[in-house]
Chain A
Amino acid sequence: MKNFKRIMSVVFARKASLAGFIVIVLFVLVALFAKQLAPYDPGQINLRAKTVAPCWEHPLGTDKLGRDTLSRIISGSTVTLEIAIISVFIAGSIGCAFGLISGYYGGIVDAIIMRFTDALTCIPKMALAMTLTFALGRNTFSLMVAIGLASVPGYIRLVRGQVFKVKSCDYIQAQTIIGTNRIKILFSEILPNCISPLIVYATTNLGASIITESSLSFIGCGVQPPAAAWGSMVEDGFSLIRVYPYLSIFPGLAILIVVLAFNMFGDGLRDALDPRISKSL
């Protein structure tokens, strides 16, 4: 707890990380209370008020079916957050498990896992996610699994590297010599050492997952209409870009701001958790 306070004070000392944190908190609150916050029903079609320019009634305007853009961005935040968190959770737990096994047992097990990781890294993430969403069926859950699986290799490498670093430490070797159960060493000594780099990586990975999800939604492989998703809203507005550019600008800005916030907060966390780097930055 004391450690937590120290880390947070380092993070908040940097303006950029503090700003990132505030934006993330706001984003989560908006996503949680989307139904209460949205001024209009995000799916409400109103052909008498289509493509209204930003004004007092519709701060961000309306789309070609007269749906309020602000309400759709607010409602889209829920699905964005859901997919980002669950996909990162999937990637993190699978990656962590394989990384631990690979790093701790080494030898042939490590070689096999790493060759598969190398192969997965070489497959273009977008192609992998696209194919997977289709293989698993076009719904939000398969989207989460696809985005998650596509980012597994990064976690495996991270955890494996960390395990290698810790494994050779004297206190771990001492534990092994006195005959402590290997599984126990793995979970009570080695895993805790992986937590802080994992948190940093996961934070920036949340941003990356949001970009992947919105890109997939943009090309029509992601969140399916009529549900509002930021990526598909940009795509919706693209055909009218010459006349109503704000249809694409605002949802894209929403993605940019949220991803930027995760990256800046992640940078701050990394500096706070790894003092060696923060000295040089």
Chain B
Amino acid sequence: MGKYVISKVIQSLLTVLLVSLIVFTIIEILPGDVGTAIIPEDVTDEQAEIMREQMGLNRTPVERYLIWISNAIRGDLGQSLKSSEDVFAKVSHALGITLSFTIAALLIGAVIGIGFGIIAALNRGRFWDNLISVIANIGSAAPGFWFAIMLILLFAVHLNLLPVQGYTALSVDFVKGIRQMILPTLVLMLPTIAAITRQTRSAMLETLNQEFVRTARSKGQNERVVILKHVLKNALTPILTMFGLRLNNCFAGAMISESIFGIPGMGSIMLAAILDQDTNVMLGGTLFMSISVVLITLFIDIMYGVVDPRMRSTK
């Protein structure tokens, strides 16, 4: 078990390192470099050259990457080129906000999705199955930004139940904060429910045909025990695998809905950073989001090892 965990941790570290390399390379091909974005226009060429030298812009990309990554490991992601804020502080604050409602959407969505999937699988071809399939199909086809606008139209404009936009930290005003979080969480939940429902349904159907289920039933086992203990437990593996991927998709959704709901999270700062060509924030932001996905995947992998001893021996 220890060996399995260590190999997974090393793999994750390697993934993070590669992520940083990929992101750095993409930023490297951006038109113009950091220098053109921040050196004021009214300096002489000599002064500009000195500034470039000081910022290390005249070094080769490889050297700059090594400097950047060694600083990043020590928690120093540099300063925002626009506002001179510390990138680490800025990005971790924003990530906290984004994660608060992405994780909520992911967990609630998973519970509902698994529930829907079980109901659909057990009523295969009947009314509930069809209804749930329609919901799941629409949920996976509706663009998040449009769904967000429709929710605003319904709950904020017509029913006047929830605020349209804004973000309040829960520690400042709990009720207001929760009310503002409901719609953005719903937006991220819909595709999560859709994907997990479909995955659960097909995993359940596949497991229902297995021999051990037939054995359990022929033993005279209570049907509820069969479904929960034998079928669901075995169907959960492929469902769990989706979690890392779902978090990634939720980030995509979050980046869009943040701009709609005016939430100062990752999406908002990334979009601003891209428009301002603030490469430090872009690098730091992408790195932080990727690390969250890597961590969730690592956690699930380790859980697998705990739950299913077979996983430990396979690569």
Contacts and interface: CB of A to CB of B under 8 A. Distances in A.
B80 interface: no
Interface stretch (A121-129, A172-180, A186-194): A121-129
Contacts of A131: 23, 26-27, 274, 282, 286
Q: Interface size class for chain A?
A: 35 or more
B223 to A, nearest CB: 19
Contact of B255 (A127, A214, A249, A252): A127
B294 interface: yes
Contacts of A235: 145
A204 B286 CA distance: 26
B202 A281 contact: yes
Interface stretch (B38-46, B69-77, B136-144): B136-144
B137 A264 contact: yes
Contact of B153 (A136, A218, A219, A245): A245
A241 B152 contact: yes
A252 B274 contact: no
Interface in B2-39: 11, 14-15, 18-19, 21-23, 26-27, 29-31
Contacts, number: 150
A277 interface: yes
The A contact surface, by secondary structure, is: helix
A281 B286 contact: no
A122 B137 CA distance: 25
A121 B12 CA distance: 12
B202 A280 contact: yes
B50 interface: no
Interface in A91-142: 115-116, 118-128, 130-132, 134-137
Interface in B119-173: 137-138, 140-146, 149-150, 152-153, 157
A137 B31 contact: yes
A131 B283 CA distance: 10
Nearest to A235: B145
B198 to A, nearest CB: 9
Contacts of B137: 260, 263-264
A33 B150 CA distance: 30
B285 interface: yes
Interface string B229-269: 00000000000000011001101100110011000000100
B251 A135 contact: no
A132 B23 CA distance: 10
B205 interface: yes
A260 B138 contact: yes
A91 to B, nearest CB: 16
Given A131-B23, A131-B26, A131-B27, A126 B157 contact: no
Contacts of A135: 26-27, 29-31
Contact of B145 (A137, A215, A245, A249): A215
B6 to A, nearest CB: 17
B209 interface: yes
A115 B18 contact: yes
Nearest to A238: B149
Contacts of A125: 248-249, 252
B14 A132 contact: no
A263 B145 CA distance: 19
Interface in A170-224: 207, 211-212, 214-215, 218-219, 221
6 contacts: A122-B290, A126-B256, A241-B157, A256-B143, A259-B143, A281-B202
Interface of A: 115-116, 118-128, 130-132, 134-137, 207, 211-212, 214-215, 218-219, 221, 231, 234-235, 238, 241-242, 245, 248-249, 252, 255-256, 259-260, 263-264, 277, 280-281
Given A124-B290, A218-B256, 5 more contacts: A124-B255, A124-B293, A231-B143, A231-B145, A256-B143
Across chains A and B, which 5 residue pairs bring their CB atoms closest together, nearest first? A252-B146, A119-B18, A126-B252, A260-B141, A259-B141
